[in-house]
Amino acid sequence: MNSGRPKPYNSFETAQEQFDAVATRLGLDTGTRELLRSPLREYSFAIPVRMDDGSVRVFRGFRVQHNDARGPCKGGIRFHPLETLDTVRALAMWMTWKCAVVDIPLGGGKGGIICDPHNLSLAEQERLCRGFVRQVVRNVGPTLDVPAPDVMTSGQHMLWMLDEFEAIRGEHLPGFITGKPVGLGGSLGRTEATGYGVVFTIRETLRELGLRAEDTRASVQGFGNVAQYAIELLMQLGGTVTCVSCWDQKDQVAYSYRRRSGVDLAELRSITDRFGGIDSKRARELGYEVLDGDAWLEQEVEILIPAALENQIHIDNVDRIAPTVRLIAEGANGPTGPRADAVIRERGIFMIPDLLANSGGVTCSYFEQVQSNMNYYWSRDEVLGKLDLKMTSAFRAVAELAQRENLYMRDAAYVIAVTRVAQASRDRGWV
Amino acid sequence: MAASGRPAEPIPRFDRRFFASDRIASRIGDGELGGKASGLVRARTALAVLRPVPDIEVGIPRMAVIATDVHARFVERNGLAELAASDAPDDAKAHAFLAADLPVEILGDLHALVDEVRSPLAVRSSSLLEDALHHPLAGVYATKMTPNEAHEPGERFARLVEAVKLVYASTCFRSPRRYLRAIGADPASERMAVIVQEVVGRRFADRYYPHVSGVARSWNFYPGSGSAPEDGVVSLALGLGKTIVDGGVAWTYSPLRPAAPPPFASNAARAKNTQTRFWAVNMGPVPHDPIRETEHLIQAELPVADLDGSLHFVASTWDPRSDRLQPGVGAVGSRLLDFAPLLVHQELRLNQVIRELLRVCEDDWGEAVEIELAAVLDHRPAPHARVGLLQVRPMAAASEHVHLDDADLAHPDALLASRSSMGNGVEEGIADVVYCVPDRFDARATRDIAAEVEQIDAELEAARRPYLLIGFGRWGSSDPWLGIPVRWDQIAGARVVVEAMLPHMNVEPSQGAHFFHNVASLGVKYLTVPHDAHPGIDWDWLAGCTEQRSTPHLRHVRLDDPLRVTVDGRTGRAVALHG
* H/E segment holding residue B372: strand B369-378
Q: Are strands A303-306 and A217-221 parallel, antiparallel or unpaired?
A: parallel
The rounded distance, in Å, linking the Cα atoms of B553 and B454 is 13
The rounded distance, in Å, linking the Cα atoms of A179 and A111 is 15
For residue B237, the cross-strand partners are B213
* pLDDT tens digits along A73-88: 999 999 999 889 999 9
| Cβ contact B334:B317 at 8 Å | yes
> How far is B430 from chain A, CA to nearest CA, in Å?
51
* pLDDT tens digits along A50-69: 999 999 999 999 999 999 99
Q: Are strands A73-80 and A145-149 parallel, antiparallel or unpaired?
A: parallel
* H/E segment holding residue B193: strand B192-198
Backbone phi, psi, residue B407, to 5°: -65, -35
Q: Are strands B425-436 and B467-472 parallel, antiparallel or unpaired?
A: parallel
List the B207-209 sheet strands across, edge first.
Answer: B202-204, B207-209, B277-282, B297-301
Those residues whose C-beta lies under 8 Å from the C-beta of residue A145, and which sit 6 or more positions away, are A63, A65, A68, A72, A73, A74, A75, A109, A136, A139
Q: Which residues from chain A sit within 8 angstroms of residue B100, using beta carbons?
A: none
* pLDDT tens digits along A357-412: 999 999 999 999 999 999 999 999 999 999 999 999 999 999 999 999 999 999 99
- Please name which of B221, B243, B32, B216 lies closest in space to residue B130, comparing C-alpha atoms: B32
The rounded distance, in Å, linking the Cα atoms of A62 and A83 is 9
| CB neighbour class for A135 (10 Å; exposed up to 12, middle 13-18, buried from 19) | middle
H runs (alpha helix) in B219-366? 242-245, 267-272, 302-308, 340-343, 350-365
The rounded distance, in Å, linking the Cα atoms of B168 and B132 is 18
- Please name which of A41, A12, A18 lies closest in space to residue A417, comparing C-alpha atoms: A18
pLDDT the model gives residue B320: 84
Write the CA distances from B544 to B537, B541, B554, B557, integer angstroms.
Answer: 14, 5, 15, 9
Those residues whose C-beta lies under 8 Å from the C-beta of residue B352, and which sit 6 or more positions away, are B53
pLDDT the model gives residue B515: 67
pLDDT the model gives residue B542: 93
| Cβ contact B163:B146 at 8 Å | yes
Q: Which residues from chain B sit within 8 angstroms of residue A379, using beta carbons?
A: 158, 161
Residue contact A389–B115, C-beta within 8 A? yes
Q: Which residues from chain A sit within 8 angstroms of residue B102, using beta carbons?
A: 381
pLDDT the model gives residue B66: 96
Domains of chain A, CATH where assigned: 39-176 (3.40.50.10860), 191-357 (3.40.50.720)
The rounded distance, in Å, linking the Cα atoms of B67 and B37 is 9
pLDDT the model gives residue B3: 40
Residue contact A382–B154, C-beta within 8 A? yes
Name the DSSP letter for residue A182.
B
pLDDT the model gives residue B315: 95
Write the CA distances from B497 to B88, B529, B575, integer angstroms.
Answer: 30, 11, 12
CB pairs under 8 A between A and B: 50
* pLDDT tens digits along B165-180: 999 999 999 888 877 7
Q: Exactly one of A74, A98, A110, A390 is catalytic; name it.
A: A110
pLDDT the model gives residue A146: 97
User: Per mean pLDDT, which range of A202-206, A286-290, A315-319, B441-445 is the poorest?
Assistant: B441-445
Q: Provide ipTM, 2 decimals.
A: 0.73
Stretch A127-147: mean pLDDT, rounded? 97
Write down the pTM of the prediction: 0.75
> How far is A38 from chain B, CA to nearest CA, in Å?
36
Write the CA distances from B386 to A15, B60, B233, B287, integer angstroms.
Answer: 59, 10, 21, 33
The rounded distance, in Å, linking the Cα atoms of A181 and A102 is 24
Active site residue A110: yes
Segments of chain B scoring below 70 in pLDDT: 1-9, 18-22, 130-139, 182-183, 221-226, 247, 263-265, 396-401, 504-523, 570
Quick count: other Cβ atoms within 10 Å of Cβ B426?
Answer: 11
**What b/e readout covers B319-351, taking b as 16+ CB neighbours within 10 angstroms?**
eeeeeebbbbbeeebbbbbbbbbbbeeebbbbb
- Please name which of B450, B438, B516 lies closest in space to residue B483, comparing C-alpha atoms: B450
> How far is B77 from chain A, CA to nearest CA, in Å?
10
Q: Which residues from chain B sit within 8 angstroms of residue A203, using beta carbons?
A: 105
Chain B residues 12-31 within an 8 A CB cutoff of chain A: 16
- Please name which of B426, B470, B428 lies closest in space to residue B578, comparing C-alpha atoms: B428
The rounded distance, in Å, linking the Cα atoms of A377 and B329 is 50
pLDDT band with cut points at 50, 70 and 90 for residue A36:
very high
Q: Are strands B525-529 and B494-500 parallel, antiparallel or unpaired?
A: parallel
- Please name which of B241, B218, B236 lies closest in space to residue B348, comparing C-alpha atoms: B236
| Cβ contact A91:A411 at 8 Å | no
Straight-line distance from the first to the last Cα atom of chain A, in angstroms, rounded to the nearest whole number: 40
Q: What's B380-397 look like in SS3? A: CCCCEEEEEEEEEEECCC
- Please name which of B60, B132, B125, B173 lies closest in space to residue B514, comparing C-alpha atoms: B125
pLDDT the model gives residue B2: 39
pLDDT the model gives residue B80: 95
